[in-house]
């Protein structure tokens, strides 16, 4: 089946530092990847859509300068949280759309990254 | 725009029994897809089952089945013979086909706890 990995699975950083999270599709190509943020016991909130070779599309209210997204290849998208602050602490999860398989539009998710900013 | 409603924040079910998770949706689109995902405490979102709006038969995947009632705009998930490992949060999601952005709209989720 379609497998998506995320790295790191958890990270603790000091306020003001930047953190990079990688999202990889391991056994399929993904022209489109998505980045979500999730608070405890809540639903997923879409932050941005990452398209290979082009700029990411951000949802309303998401600061593009704070959450930098790069989709450099068909299997890798990265999210960089710049100058992180405690309010950025959250669970970040990515997904990838499988071009070649799965029901139309199925997104396959990574295991998520838990970010804690001290 | 699509809206997904899951009215059951939490449910308890006895092991080996069946459980139905409710999902209703609101859309003006004629062509769309409905998805169910499972999120255990580890956090990973696991794709369970898909139903297309033009599919005439209800989708089934192992112990999961989707009770699709198009006129009522509902897509309830049925888990048969519950197992302890089914304890998780379950999300209903939807995507409109004419949209080229492939975005999913998610419901608020339902937490299922399976009791031994």
**Residues A103, B50: C-beta atoms closer than 8 Å:** yes
**Residues B45, A102: C-beta atoms closer than 8 Å:** no
Does residue A66 contact residue A48 with C-beta atoms inside 8 Å?
Answer: no
More confident residue, B76 or B98: B76
**Residues A57, B101: C-beta atoms closer than 8 Å:** yes
Residue B61: predicted pLDDT: 96
Query: Which contacts of B3-9 are long-range, i.e. CB under 8 A and separated by 24 or more positions?
Result: B3/B27, B3/B105, B4/B92, B4/B93, B4/B94, B4/B105, B4/B106, B4/B107, B5/B107, B5/B108, B6/B91, B6/B92, B6/B107, B6/B108, B6/B109, B6/B110, B8/B110, B9/B108, B9/B109, B9/B110, B9/B111
Does residue A69 contact residue A50 with C-beta atoms inside 8 Å?
Answer: yes
The shortest C-alpha distance from B92 to chain A (Å) reads 10
Interface test with A, best of B104, B105, B111 (most A CBs within 10 A): B104
Query: In the predicted model, what is the mean pLDDT of residues B4-9?
Result: 96
The shortest C-alpha distance from B80 to chain A (Å) reads 23
Ranges of beta strands (E only) in chain B are 3-5, 10-14, 19-21, 24-26, 32-39, 46-52, 60-61, 64-69, 74-79, 88-96, 105-106, 110-115
Residue B101: predicted pLDDT: 74
> Model confidence over B24-38: pLDDT tens digits?
999 988 889 999 999
Q: Is the pLDDT of residue B1 over 90?
A: no
**Residues A93, B43: C-beta atoms closer than 8 Å:** yes
> Model confidence over B61-88: pLDDT tens digits?
999 999 999 999 999 999 999 999 999 9
Residue A9: predicted pLDDT: 97
Residue A100: predicted pLDDT: 64
Q: Which residues of A touch B43 (CB under 8 A)?
A: 91, 93, 111-112, 114
């Amino acid at each position: 089946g379609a497998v998506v990995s995320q790295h790191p699975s958890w990270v603790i950083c000091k306020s003001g530092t930047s953190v990079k999270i990688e999202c990889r599709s391991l056994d399929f190509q993904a022209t489109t990847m998505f980045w979500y943020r999730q608070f405890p016991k809540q639903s997923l909130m879409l932050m941005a859509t990452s398209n290979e070779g082009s700029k990411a599309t951000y949802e309303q209210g998401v600061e593009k300068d704070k959450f930098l997204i790069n989709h450099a290849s068909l299997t890798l998208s990265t999210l960089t949280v710049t100058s992180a602050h405690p309010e950025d602490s959250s669970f970040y999860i990515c997904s990838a759309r499988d071009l070649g398989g799965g029901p139309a539009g199925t997104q396959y998710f990574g295991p998520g990254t838990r970010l804690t900013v001290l | 725009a699509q809206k997904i409603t899951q009215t059951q924040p939490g449910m308890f079910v006895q092991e080996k029994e069946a459980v139905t998770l409710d999902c209703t949706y609101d859309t003006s689109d004629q062509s769309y897809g409905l998805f169910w995902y499972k999120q255990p405490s580890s956090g990973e979102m696991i794709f369970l089952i898909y139903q297309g709006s033009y599919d005439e038969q209800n989708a089934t995947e192992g112990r999961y089945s989707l009770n699709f009632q198009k006129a009522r705009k509902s897509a309830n998930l049925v888990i048969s013979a519950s197992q302890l490992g089914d304890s998780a949060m379950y999300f209903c999601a939807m995507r409109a086909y004419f949209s080229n952005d492939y975005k999913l709209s998610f419901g608020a989720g339902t937490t299922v706890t399976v009791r031994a």
